[in-house]
A = this chain, B = another copy of it.
C-alpha cells in the first residue's frame, strides 16, 4: 500500500547519513566498502543504514556476492515527491498571496508619487 510505503520512505529519509548515502548513489552504484569510506563510519554501521534503505525500497543490492553493489531506486522517491507536490500548490499559492499583500502595503515609489 502507498500509505505504508510513504511511512517507510519518509522514515528512511529522516537520517542525514541515509540521505548522504542516497546522494552518493545518485551518481552511480557503490559497494558497502566504497560507501563506508567517506563517512568515517564502520562497515556494520553503514550496513545497518543500507538495510533501512533497502527495506524502504530506496536502494537495491546487486547479486555479485563479493561486492553486492547498491543502486538507488527512483520509485519511492517519486512517490514521496508526489505526496509533497500536493502541498507545493498550497504553499506557492500562499507565497503568491503574501507577495501581492506586500506589494499592496509597500509605499509608492518616487515615480508614482505626485507632488
A positions within 8 Å CB-CB of B? 3, 6-11, 13-16, 19, 22-23, 26, 72, 74, 77-78, 80-81, 83-88, 90-91, 94-95
Contact = CB atoms under 8 A, between A and B. Distances in A.
Nearest to A23: B86
B22 A87 contact: yes
A84 B86 contact: no
Copies in the complex: 2
Contact of A74 (B11, B14, B87): B87
Nearest to A16: B3
Contacts of A26: 86-87, 90
Nearest to A6: B19
B3 A7 contact: no
A29 to B, nearest CB: 13
